[in-house]
Structure formats: C-alpha cells, structure tokens
A and B are shown apart, each in its own frame.
Chain A
C-alpha cells in the first residue's frame, strides 16, 4: 500500500491552519469536480482531494495522521504500525459528505471505511432523499464514434461499492456488458436499473447511470448527432468545381464542390451523421483550400502565368 501525503494533495504545508485546510479543499474541489473539469483524471483527483480533506478537516484524525511525521513520502510502500491509532477515537462523527467508497486502501487501513458516508456513489455525495434504497451511481464510459454509428456491445470495468460480511462498504471491480445503441450522443446516459449501490436490508439497489463520452477521433468532430469535418481541396477544385471523395462514418462518398468555393465554405451531406431510429444527423464539410508548393521553375512559371492573367486582390476589404 502506498503512503498518501494528504498535505501535498491539498497543496498546503503541514502547519496549515484548519481554515487553510478548508479553503484549499474548497478551491481544489471546485477545480476538479468531474462535472466541471473534463480532464480524464479529474474524477480521481477529486476523490483524492475529498479523501485528504476527510482526514485533515478533523482535528483528531489529522493529529493521528500527523504522527507519521515528515519521514513518509507519497507513493512509498506503507504499513501502519499495529498500535498507530492508540489514544485516538474516531466515533464516526466529523465525517464529511464526501463519498467514502472512493477512498484509497491507505485511508481505509487507517480510518476504516465504516465511518464514511457509506451508501454513496462515485463522484457525488448525494443526499439520500429516499428511504433506504441504494444510491444511484454515475460513471463515464468512453466509446468510439463508430460504436455509436454502428451500435455495439461492449464490456466496461467499473468499481462498484458493495457491503461485505461485516457490514463494511468496499469497492469491487465489476465488469458490465453494455449495449451501445445506434446514434447515442455524447453526454447521453444509459441507465442500468438495479446496478447501483446495494440497498440497506431488503431495500432495492440503486441504479447505475453511464454517461457516454467519445474518444477523440482522428478527423471527425461530433456536435450532437452532426459530424464536422474539415476537407482540404486544391485551388483548381475550388475554382472549377469538382466531385471529390469524402470520408464519412458510413464509408467514402462523393461530394460536389461548387465552382468558386472558398476556404470556410460549409457543405452538408444530409443524413451522414449519427442516427438513431427516429433521428439522424448530418455531416458538415468545411472546405480548406491548400495551395501546392512551388518546388521548381515550372511550378513558379505556372503561378506567374496565373498572376499575370488573373489580377486579384484578396485584401481589398482591408483598404490596402
């Protein structure tokens, strides 16, 4: 087990006051909240910050933790001494609303998992507004654009809280086979009933909500069900008009470029975006004219001929 330096996690000194601990936590929690911060690592960071705050905001726990002194470095292999917490009492009070099921083994070995707000789901310490039904859990799943275009079945590994024989809340890795329906958009959710946190006693389990995110595609950019693509074309294709091949999620199609097109012109390929049973998106192609390099005398001569034959001032609107 790795030693966790909670002071480093909160970016504070070991002699920080309780007020400083609180301020540091609040600032970082805002920054790394997974609903706000879209970085992949945000959720993990948010949980670490919550764990650090859980310990440092409580004077007793902080004092116990401080007993380790400065000798420990984050990441060092760590085993708590058998009598480490003698003289300290953790009575379950003073726990924050942070989601304890996401805390590290390090935290559990020191403070136990039972004191935490047990029935809570990943990245949200939600109030239990309903009796004893298990908490809903939320997780993000990363899929490829093509998975939404074709529809697919995929396995995802998730950490799921469960109650062990002694009544403690633990997290267990859990593999779920999930059907990705055709045309699902980024931000939409798939709800798996009964796959959330376990209910207390005979109460029902909560639900699991999987929020879809698309992995970055090499050239397609999704916007709801529409697909955006920047398409490079030659100056003669732009000037004379042409039919050029364009990649779409469903394969290559021919696109007619009207004569005298400019960079930035947007053309629509109807119903070539993501589609569900009832709704379909389009693909929008934005043209970008690429000018070939003049590599030799012949190339330069060609450009010169154009210069002579086609006087053109693209800067007239700038008054120059």
Chain B
C-alpha cells in the first residue's frame, strides 16, 4: 500500500509558538507554563505571545508527560529525572570513547 506521508523532521530549524507547541504535544498552555516554572522548558522571548520554543523542548515535554503518567513522578522529580538522564547520556558517550581507546591495546 503506497501512502503519501506527511513527514516533518523536528530539528533545530523548527521553532514553535506556545499555541503550536500545545497543539503538537496535545497539552494545555498551563501544563507548559508549569514546566517553564520548573525550569524543564525554556522559551525565548519575554511574553507568552512572543514565546518561541526550540525543537528539543518538544521531546522534553513528551518525556515529562510519560514520566508523570507512567511513573507518577511529580514536576520537581521530572525535572531532576530529565537532568540526570541527560547527564547519563553524556557519560555514556564519554565512556564509549574511552572504551574505544582501551580496546586498541587488544587489537595491537
């Protein structure tokens, strides 16, 4: 079955207004406001009307929803979990680079 698929890559070229963000993530503006107050999401711009959200925020909102629903984590807990997850990701990358260096010893 051939289908015409409407694919959008959510990358750094994308920027979203509060309304677009709410539509995309299917959340109310208040939920986004709560995430902003907790420091989970940071828009550019002074007022809600001018707010622009980077693509990375979409994923942070989605992961926040899942962590809150699936694991009943509250907002501060979600913020902490997200920070730790990002740190783990960094550490994993450093680890694989070091592993690559030490693996050379076995290859020689």
- Please report A residues at the B interface, Cβ cutoff 8 Å: 26, 29-30, 33, 35-36, 38, 97, 123-127, 129-130, 133, 136, 138, 176-179, 181, 183-185, 187-195, 206-207, 209, 211, 219, 221, 223, 228, 230, 232, 276-279, 286, 288, 290-291, 293
A-B contact count (CB 8 A): 113
Q: Is the CB of B65 within 8 A of A193?
A: no
Q: Is the CB of A35 within 8 A of B63?
A: yes
Cβ 8 A contact of B13, one of A191, A193, A278? A278
Q: Which of B3-11, B33-41, B44-52 contacts A (4 or more CB under 8 A)?
A: B3-11
Proximity string of chain B (48-63) to chain A, C-beta cutoff 8 Å, 1 when within and 0 when not:
0000000100110011
Cβ 8 A contact of A290, one of B12, B62, B104? B104
**Could you show 14 A-B contacts with beta carbons less than 8 Å apart?**
A33-B70, A35-B63, A126-B26, A138-B62, A176-B3, A177-B5, A178-B5, A185-B11, A189-B58, A189-B59, A219-B100, A277-B13, A279-B12, A286-B97
CA of A206 to CA of B25, assembled, Å: 10
Q: Is the CB of B65 within 8 A of A178?
A: no
Q: Is the CB of B10 within 8 A of A193?
A: no
Q: Is the CB of A223 within 8 A of B7?
A: no
B92 contacts which chain A residues (CB < 8 A)?
38
Shortest B1–chain A CB gap in Å is: 8
Q: How many residues of B contact A (CB 8 A)?
A: 37
Shortest A142–chain B CB gap in Å is: 16
Q: Is the CB of B96 within 8 A of A221?
A: yes
User: A29-B71, A221-B97, A286-B101 are known contacts. Are A193 and B6 too (CB-CB below 8 A)?
Assistant: yes
Q: Is the CB of A193 within 8 A of B8?
A: yes
Shortest Cβ-Cβ A-B pairs, 6 listed: A124-B66, A230-B100, A191-B8, A189-B10, A193-B6, A181-B9
Other A-B pairs beyond A179-B7, A230-B97, 8, CB < 8 Å: A35-B67, A36-B85, A126-B66, A129-B27, A176-B5, A188-B11, A230-B104, A276-B13
Cβ 8 A contact of A124, one of B24, B55, B70, B100? B70
Proximity string of chain B (84-105) to chain A, C-beta cutoff 8 Å, 1 when within and 0 when not:
0100000011001100110010
Q: Is the CB of B71 within 8 A of A191?
A: no
B12 contacts which chain A residues (CB < 8 A)?
276, 278-279
CA of A232 to CA of B63, assembled, Å: 40
Interface status of B79 (Cβ within 8 A of chain A): no
User: A124-B65, A124-B69, A187-B59 are known contacts. Are A288 and B7 too (CB-CB below 8 A)?
Assistant: no
Residue of B nearest to A184 (CB): B9
